[in-house]
Amino acid sequence: MSYKDFLSLFVGKTSDELISEVVLANENKIKKGSEIGWVLSPTMPIPEYYKIVAMDDISRGFYDYYENNFSAVINYVESKSSLLNKFLRSMVMEAIWAYKEDKLLICIPALFAVIEGALVHISNSGNKEKTRYWYGANNAARESGSGQIALPLLTLSHFLACTFQPSKFNEGPLAIINRHWSQHGRYESSPPKESVMQLLSAVAVILWVFELKNNA
């Protein structure tokens, strides 16, 4: 089932009804994957996502899936990167180059910067001061006026809730890639490949939201 086919199930509903049903019917499943770093990317079929979050080892399920399908995420980000401003677009393209060359260290801070820069327009209505990260994206999902945009905003918001959470540096790094550890230079070893895959997938979701807004 494609995302378009999924939305067809709600034909005839008002915008408020549609958003409500999308949120209520899917948030727990979306949260289960997103809160451990795995978003519902625009290239992943919804039934596949639901199948993986029902597994005993969810992280392994996502990693195995993307090991075979991650080129689709890369292609999507490359094809939609013009939706970012020139600076962020250059940064994400360089991060993709580094990923392909297995130079993962530079990918993490670069992709967090891309995500944070793009969130100004998703979570903060263009205001560059005190971006509201999780709260802003979650609130945008519920007030979007479009059921089509609600689902990617939800997966993004729960991803942000885990990856952007504050952390006490002296207690050691969190199990999931963390913006504060990255941007404050606290990591002391190379990140696993899956962390870069998670961040690139989140960038894909951001571009998905921008695309849907442009087509609204």
Q: Which pLDDT value is given to residue 22?
A: 58
Residue with tokens 């940064």: 91
Window from 54-58, 75-79, 119-123, 187-191 with minimum mean pLDDT = 187-191
Per the structure, how many domains does the chain have?
1
Residue at 73: amino acid letter: V
Whole-Å CA distances, 69 to 41, 63, 66, 76: 11, 10, 5, 12
Q: Is 56 left (phi over 0), alpha (psi -120 to 50) or beta?
A: alpha
Whole-Å CA distances, 87 to 21, 180, 202: 37, 22, 18
Residue with tokens 């677009």: 89
pLDDT value at 165 more than 90: no
Q: Which pLDDT value is given to residue 200?
A: 97
Computed on alpha carbons and rounded to an integer, the radius of gyration of the chain in Å comes to 16
CA 49/CA 58 separation, integer angstroms: 10
For the purposes of burial, counting CB atoms within 10 Å of the CB of 125, is it exposed (0-12), middle (13-18) or buried (19 or more)? exposed
Q: DSSP H helical segments within 123-192, as ranges?
A: 133-142, 147-163, 179-183
CA 126/CA 16 separation, integer angstroms: 24
Q: Which pLDDT value is given to residue 136?
A: 66
Q: Which pLDDT value is given to residue 119?
A: 87
* Percent share of the chain, pLDDT over 90: 45
For the purposes of burial, counting CB atoms within 10 Å of the CB of 129, is it exposed (0-12), middle (13-18) or buried (19 or more)? exposed
CA 200/CA 151 separation, integer angstroms: 18
Structural domain range at position 14: 3-215
Q: Is 103 left (phi over 0), alpha (psi -120 to 50) or beta?
A: beta
Average pLDDT over residues 120-146: 66
Residue at 101: amino acid letter: E
pTM: 0.85
Q: Which pLDDT value is given to residue 17?
A: 57
Assigned token pair, 134: 């999780």
